[in-house]
Amino acid sequence: MHTLTEEINHLKKERRAIILAHNYEPPEIQDIADITGDSLGLSVDAARLDQPVIVFCGVRFMAESAAILAPGKTVLLPRLECGCGLADMATAHALRSMRRERPEAVVVTYVNSSAEVKAESDICCTSGNAVNVVRSIPEKREIIFVPDRNLGAYVQAQTGRRLILWNGACPVHDAIRAADIIKAREKHPEALVMVHPECRPEVTQLADGVCSTGGMSDFVRQSHAQEFIVATEEGMLYPLRKAHPERIFHPVSQDSPQRMICPDMKMITLKDLRDALKKMEPVITVNPEIADRARSALERMLAVPRN
């Protein structure tokens, strides 16, 4: 009788597959993955690696980005219903209407968006490079920032540029309030506060560091502090504790940790992962014409210097 882990590892070899897992996935999924990280980093890895099969443990827009950046590879998303409340807030149709009203504007789209929305965009960005992407656009050009108004507000504050903000937000990060940070600081006065830029402006203003999930580990590495308050989806605590066992990490909302859980990020189980490898489904495909346009927006972003 084989364990699920053994079965997955066996199937993975047989299929020549690689398992990628987002930082917010449950610990057992992160542990069995070959690579863990943030959404775009994983998609770039997917394109770079030799394996013909990619099992993406994350949400749909991430698997789509992998399929766009790695055409010719088979991308599996073990649970097709893993969506994203933020990505759902922008549609290609609504974005086309907005573009018609402002034909001169440059559309900057956060990667947490559907392939169709990326295809309507000039350039993509991540939470880690959004400031640099906006700075790369000539001052005189108007910018429409899609779909996260909080990330857009943060970029506005950092660059001094006025952006036209799409009215979307991540339900998990948008639920964090300034009072949560104040309370957490009172409880852990020695701790530094790391906040994801998808949080509200009144929350990012209280942070010691505003970091993408990838940036949080760097922030910890560069700091001498022993304790940190982490204002993002609770799954991020696992890779932080694993990478920095000598430090202490507190979730921002200790009284009601459920608030900091993204249900879509907790759907995939080891059994789903095993079944996906066994049946080689569900496969994520993107219409080739949409994929080509979305890839152009992603590649323009990848060409922007990091600093």
Interface positions, 94-113, toward ligand SF4 (CB under 6 A): 112
Between CA 213 and CA 54 the distance in angstroms is: 22
Residues in the chain: 307
Between CA 125 and CA 306 the distance in angstroms is: 11
How many chain residues touch ligand SF4 (CB under 6 A)? 12
The gap from C-alpha 197 to its chain's centroid, in whole angstroms, comes to 11
Which of 134, 265 has the CB closer to ligand SF4?
265
CB of 72 to ligand SF4, least distance (A): 26
- 126 scored as a contact of ligand SF4 (CB under 6 A): no
CB of 152 to ligand SF4, least distance (A): 14
236, two tokens: 């991020």
CA neighbours within 13 Å on the CB side: how many for 48? Answer: 8
Interface positions, 246-305, toward ligand SF4 (CB under 6 A): 262, 264-265
Piece in contact with ligand SF4 (CB under 6 A), picked from 80-88, 155-163, 283-291, 292-300 = 80-88
Which of 136, 269 has the CB closer to ligand SF4?
269
CB of 199 to ligand SF4, least distance (A): 11
Residue type, 88: D
Which of 59, 119 has the CB closer to ligand SF4?
59
CB of 3 to ligand SF4, least distance (A): 29
194, 207 in Cβ contact below 8 A? yes
Which of 69, 87 has the CB closer to ligand SF4?
87
Measured CA to CA in angstroms, residue 155 lies from 65, 86, 108, 161, 271 at distances of: 23, 17, 11, 8, 40
Interface positions, 173-232, toward ligand SF4 (CB under 6 A): none
Measured CA to CA in angstroms, residue 95 lies from 55, 107, 150, 266, 298 at distances of: 30, 9, 18, 30, 17
Which of 8, 33 has the CB closer to ligand SF4?
33
Q: How many CB atoms lie within 10 A of CB 283?
A: 15
Between CA 154 and CA 132 the distance in angstroms is: 12
Instruction: Rule CB under 6 A: choose which of 8, 17, 54, 59 binds ligand SF4.
Output: 59
Q: For the window 18-57, what string marks contact with ligand SF4 as x by the rule CB under 6 A?
A: ----------------------------------------
Residue 91, helix vs strand vs coil: coil
Piece in contact with ligand SF4 (CB under 6 A), picked from 29-37, 81-89, 90-98, 212-220 = 81-89
Phi, psi (deg, nearest 5) at residue 284: -95, 120
Q: Which is nearest to 147 in space by CA: 193, 116, 107, 109?
A: 109
51, 108 in Cβ contact below 8 A? no
251, 234 in Cβ contact below 8 A? yes
- 84 scored as a contact of ligand SF4 (CB under 6 A): yes
Instruction: Rule CB under 6 A: choose which of 25, 233, 272, 275 binds ligand SF4.
Output: 233
Interface positions, 140-179, toward ligand SF4 (CB under 6 A): 170-172
286, two tokens: 């993107």
User: For binding to ligand SF4 (CB under 6 A), which residues are involved?
Assistant: 59, 84-86, 112, 170-172, 233, 262, 264-265
